[in-house]
Chains A and B, each alone.
Chain A
Amino acid sequence: MFGYYYNKGLRRLIVGFGSLFSNIEVVHDNAVGTDTRLQVPLTYASQEKFIQRLLNPSSITEGTRIENQLPRMSFHVSNVTPDPSRRRSRFSTLSTGVAGTNCASLNEFSNETPVNVGISLFAYTRHVDDMLQIIEQIIPFFTPDHVIKMELTDGGTVLNIPVVLTSNNITDRYEGDFNSRRIHIATFNFIAKTYLFGKVAQTSSIASSTINITGFTGYNLNDS
């Protein structure tokens, strides 16, 4: 109905959000020798099951079999909701020059649609101390929001996108018989106040204009 377009606005947001947490580290304090310092692996939670089974270590893969490797983190988008409170006039547009055309051609963007994107971030550790290290590297940066800056469309403008930490929860399962082990999972819920853009139209810039004036009488345009 509206014609195909895909600006990858949400993909860009997901990448930007994920890269906020790609350099979280955990250190194991060895009383003797060098401490073990490791980068916490981060993944997008939702992945095709068959691809995981084929390409990742599983029970059918050669090599030493273990249950999993901790600590780990993952995240996924849980909802995308329009936010009318941030909406501007739908009739104005924004134009930016197309690269390499010396502004002869323009990308014309209709006004953005503000949306709130709910994103959940999970951390899974074996040790309490690992979890505390991860939490301390996240929460202080969200007071309650942390503004990221990125292009949401090709050739578009760079926008500020506040990411708000709305809640967090720590699941600490340690009770029960000895058939299961203790685990810690923390969940952080965020809202990214981002924008979606419609189809980008191509226009030309106004290089010259002609004015025809008629109907004047008794007035000389050359008079000062």
Chain B
Amino acid sequence: MATNPYINLTSFSAEQNLVEDITVELIQGVGQDCVYVPRNALNIDRLFGEDPSSYFNSTYTIEMYIQSYKGFEGTDIVTQFGIEIKDKISLLMARRRFRDVITAAQPSITRPREGDLIYFPLSKSLFEINFVEHENPLYPLGKLYSYQITAELFTYSYEKLITGNTAVNSPYTSTGVTGGTFIPKNNILGTTAGINSILDTEADLYNFDPNDPNTGCAN
């Protein structure tokens, strides 16, 4: 049996546009301005399906509604590699606004993409999009109006962050380049930079030479 054209509203564009307007208005009313940072692939390795040299060089400010209002769904944990911050966030973005702001500037980006970044200024957090749910809610009045974005804090692996936004760029810093080698930014205990130089210095006190350990005669 076909749907009833007199009471079924799933194909009325006027009603759909009204719902879309309300969606945009709601997010603009109670949402938060975030910074969308698209990832640029540079040298995709098709063997391993990765691009260690991908980079980020543009930002777009767009409003998003925070769905995970109870807090970030994670905490700080200590692993054998130091502290990891396991914050997650769930955000809602209007489809029409994404088209107007981001697709209009970069036509190849037609939807929020997994791997792109979102800077959340309230907590100064740089999230990476893990998944974009595009069918929730499921076709109200026959159309989709929003993207539901699940994101987790960025696992940074020295991709170039060369946007015009200082806060976004800040992980891409170093103590300098020594002999062409990028030395990660230092801190007191070396969670970021490691204790490489501390080990080398103390090893020298014990007459240890890791680069030429067999030189000389040992007793």
Distance in angstroms between the alpha carbons of A147 and B82 in the assembled complex = 29
Known: A56-B189, A158-B219. A68 touches B81 (CB 8 A): yes
| Complex Cα gap A180–B73 (Å) | 13
- Decide if the interface of chain A is mainly helix, strand, loop or mixed: mixed
Asked if A104 is at the interface (CB within 8 A of a chain B CB), the reply is: no
Closest partner residue, chain A, to B166 (CB atom): A64
Rounded to whole angstroms, the CA-CA distance of A181 and B208 in the bound complex is 40
Q: Which residues of A contact B75 (CB under 8 A)?
A: 59
Residues of B within 8 A of A151 (CB): 206-207
Q: How far is the CA of A198 from the CA of B91 in the complex (A)?
A: 62
Q: Does B218 contact A159, Cβ atoms closer than 8 Å?
A: yes
Point out the residue from B155, B184, B206 that lies within 8 Å of A41, measured CB to CB. B184
Indicate if the CB atoms of A37 and B180 lie closer than 8 Å. yes
* Distance (whole angstroms) from the CB of B181 to the closest CB of chain A: 5
Q: How far is the CA of A49 from the CA of B184 in the complex (A)?
A: 22
Which residues does chain A contribute within 8 Å of B85, judged by CB atoms?
Answer: 58-59, 65-68
Query: A28 touching B158 by the CB < 8 A rule?
Result: yes
Q: How many residues of A contact B (CB 8 A)?
A: 73
User: B1 near A: Cβ within 8 Å?
Assistant: no
Contact in complex: A63, B170 (CB < 8 Å): yes
The 8 Å CB contact of B208, one of A15, A36, A41, A130, is A15
Chain A nearest CB: distance from B182 CB in Å?
Answer: 4
Q: Is the CB of A15 within 8 A of B155?
A: no
Q: Which residues of B contact A199 (CB under 8 A)?
A: none
Chain B 190-202, CB-CB to A under 8 Å as 1, else 0, gives 1111111101101
Chain A 56-76: CB-based contact to B (< 8 A → 1; otherwise 0)? 111100111111111111101
With A and B bound together, what is the CA distance between A158 and B219 in angstroms?
Answer: 6
A77 to chain B, nearest CB (A): 13
Of residues 80 through 105 on chain A, the ones whose CB sits less than 8 Å from some CB of chain B are none
B window 166-219: CB within 8 A of A: 167-168, 170-171, 180-184, 187-197, 199-200, 202-203, 206-210, 213-216, 218-219
Please name the residue on chain A nearest to B84 by beta carbon. A68
Q: How many A-B residue pairs have CB under 8 A?
A: 241
Residues of B within 8 A of A23 (CB): 196
Q: Select which of B76, B80, B155 is within 8 A of A76 by beta carbon.
A: B80
Q: Which of A15, A29, A58 makes the CB contact (< 8 A) with B43?
A: A29
Q: Are B189 and A51 in contact (CB under 8 A)?
A: yes
Nearest A residue to B45 via CB reads A129
Known: A43-B81, A57-B187, A65-B123. A127 touches B52 (CB 8 A): yes
Complex: A128 Cα to B215 Cα, angstroms: 35
> What sequence of 0s and 1s flags, for each residue 127-140 of chain A, a beta carbon within 8 Å of any chain B beta carbon?
11110000000000
Judge whether A127 and B157 touch: CB under 8 Å: yes
Q: In whole angstroms, what is the CA distance A178 to B157 when docked?
A: 19
Chain A's closest residue to B184 (CB) is A41
Residue B56 at the A interface, CB < 8 A? no
Instruction: Answer whether residue B86 sits at the interface, using C-beta atoms and an 8 A cutoff.
Output: yes
Query: At the interface with chain B, which of A118-126, A200-208, A210-218?
Result: A118-126
B168 and A56: CB pair below 8 A? Answer: no
A53 engages B83 (CB within 8 Å): yes
B188 touches A15 (CB 8 A): no
Stretch of B58-66, B102-110, B125-133, B140-148 contacting A (4+ beta carbons < 8 Å): B125-133
Q: List, in ascending order, chain A residues with CB within 8 A of B53's CB.
A: 28-31, 36
Using Cβ atoms and an 8 Å threshold, which residues of chain B touch A15?
Answer: 199, 202-203, 206, 208
On B, residues with C-beta under 8 Å from A are 42-43, 45, 48, 50, 52-53, 75-76, 78, 80-88, 114, 119, 123-126, 128, 130-131, 150, 152-158, 160, 167-168, 170-171, 180-184, 187-197, 199-200, 202-203, 206-210, 213-216, 218-219
* Chain A residues in the interface with B (C-beta under 8 A): 12, 15-16, 18-20, 22-23, 25, 28-32, 34, 36-47, 49, 51-53, 55-59, 62-74, 76, 122, 124-130, 146-151, 157-160, 177-181
What are the nearest 6 A-B pairs in CB distance? A41-B194, A178-B131, A67-B153, A56-B191, A22-B196, A45-B80
